[in-house]
Structure formats: C-alpha cells, structure tokens
Amino acid sequence: MPRTLFLLLLLVIFATPLAAETGLKKKKPRPYEFGQVVIDKFSTRAGMTPVTFDHWLHRASFTCRLCHVDIGFGMKAGATEMTAADNRAGVYCGACHNGRAVGGRPPLFAACNEPLKAENQSRCQRCPSIGKNPEREKAFAAFAAKMPRERFGNGIDWEKAEATGLVTPENYLEGVSVRRAPLKTQQDFTLKSKVEGMPDIIFSHEKHTVWNGCELCHPDIFLGIKKGATTYSMIELFEGKYCGACHDNVAFPQTDCQRCHAKAVQ
C-alpha cells in the first residue's frame, strides 16, 4: 500500500471518533423543529414543564424585528429574564398573548393570566411541551403544505411566501411600537468570496429589512454600517456570530450555500 494512502486511511480512522467527541456533526432537526427554542429559565425550578417556542408559528404573523426589538426578546435562548409575572403585566409573551386582538388579528390566548396555584396547573399546558409532539407536527405539516418549498431548514421559502402575500407579518404593536418613517433601502451589493472558484455573495438589504428592519442587525450584530466596515470569516458565522446569529437557528441554514453565493464566477 502506498505510504500516502496509508496515512490518509489512518487520518480517517482516528478523525472519525474525534469529530463525534467534539460534536462537529449535529443532529439534523425535523422540519417542524427547525428554529424551535426551549424556554427554561425558571420553569423547571418552579416545578413546571419548560416552554417550547416555535419560530415558524410566530413568524407567519409577526416580523423578527417586532419581537426582538420592540418587545425585547434576546437573540439567544436563555438571554431573556422572563417570568410568568412579566407576562401577566403585559410584557414579553404577554404583549400579544393577552386575550385581546392584536393588529386587527383575532385575539390570542392569554399567557399566565392568573397566578399559578396547585388547583389550576392543568390550564398551563398550552405552551409547556418537551419531546416529540404529534399535534404540533400535524399543525406544521398543514401550514407548510400551502407554502413555497425550500430545500433546507424547515422546508419553507419564507422570502417567497412574504413576497407573494402568503404571509403578511405584522411589524407594529399598539402600545409597544413607535411609528417610524421608512428609511431609504440600500441597493444590493456584492461581497467577494475568499475561496477561489466560489461564487461571490449577493447581499440584499431590501430582503432583510422586510423581517428585521435596521435595528435588529445594527449595531448589536453588525457594528459598522458601511460595506467592509465589519470583517468576519465563515468560521465565525458557523459559531453563531454575524450572519450566523439568525441563519442556522431560524432563517435558512448556512449549508444552503447557493442562497448567498449567488453571483456567477466571471
């Protein structure tokens, strides 16, 4: 056996368990689980089942900016110090889940509308849920069947769904949001690929501001507001920084290379 081939086989043999130990290969979530967040800052300590939050269900009706800027949810699980008392006071989940109509939409069920007591624990089963949930999966399948398809993530092309009017995400919440004059949207621009033969990236502010506005990305995720002001690498993106703050978590995953690297190689 040639020495080069022998060394290559040794590398494969010893690298495989190492990759497993370091967690490089992640379990691929089911389509209805993509973007799912478990909220357990206080639930387990209070003797309650943690809350399972589905991004697909909420982004069908509301923009990311509304929840993460106006209402104030942190961008990472566990980053928001939210309690049942907060919800009863009308903040966080309680800003919308208060039994009243929101933005002309039907009223949403009230979250934590009464202090928890031993005799009424059974009413708090709408949000808490851990593990495989056939009803949740069925609801997602019915919703996804009406949406344009995509290859990765939860299999829904949200950009196309919004552009064609299949979803009309609300971006204003009475009593919480402030009316803003729309800002001029920058034109699409190209980001040079650092890998030879890899198509350049086409970044569209117009497509991102539909969901995020400006405030969600600037200055917390991208400090600079001019092209080239913030430098980063793909390693940092895969670590959840910059573009990775949303992509891989809720927006289409970064494994869908062609969605970003879209400019043909000259």
pLDDT in tens, 6-55: 433 333 334 444 344 445 566 789 999 999 999 888 888 888 888 899 99
Could you tell me if 40 and 145 are in contact, meaning their C-beta atoms sit under 8 angstroms apart? no
CA neighbor of 57 nearest in space, from 35, 72, 39: 35
2-6, 30-34, 67-71, 197-201: range with lowest mean pLDDT:
2-6
Which run of H or of E encompasses 138?
A: helix 134-144
Could you tell me if 155 and 140 are in contact, meaning their C-beta atoms sit under 8 angstroms apart? no
* pLDDT in the model for residue 21: 45
User: How many whole angstroms separate alpha carbon 205 and alpha carbon 68?
Assistant: 18
**Encoded amino acid at 49, one letter:** T
Could you tell me if 263 and 198 are in contact, meaning their C-beta atoms sit under 8 angstroms apart? no
* pLDDT in the model for residue 91: 94
Which run of H or of E encompasses 38?
A: strand 36-39
41-45, 168-172, 217-221: range with lowest mean pLDDT:
41-45
Could you tell me if 248 and 231 are in contact, meaning their C-beta atoms sit under 8 angstroms apart? no
User: How many whole angstroms separate alpha carbon 66 and alpha carbon 61?
Assistant: 11
Could you tell me if 45 and 39 are in contact, meaning their C-beta atoms sit under 8 angstroms apart? no
Tell me: cis bond preceding 169? Omega within 30 of 0 counts.
Answer: no
**Phi, psi (5° rounding) for residue 110?**
-75, 130
Over range 212-238, report the average pLDDT. 89
93-102, 147-156, 206-215, 232-241: range with lowest mean pLDDT:
93-102
Domains of the chain from N-terminus onward: 31-144 (3.90.10.10), 181-266 (3.90.10.10)
- pLDDT tens track for 85-129: 999 899 999 999 988 876 677 888 888 877 666 655 656 767 877
Polymer length in residues for the chain:
266
* Res. 226 pLDDT band, cuts 50 70 90: confident
* pLDDT in the model for residue 197: 86
Question: Which residue's entry shows tokens 């399948």?
Answer: 141
pTM for this predicted structure: 0.82
Could you tell me if 104 and 97 are in contact, meaning their C-beta atoms sit under 8 angstroms apart? no
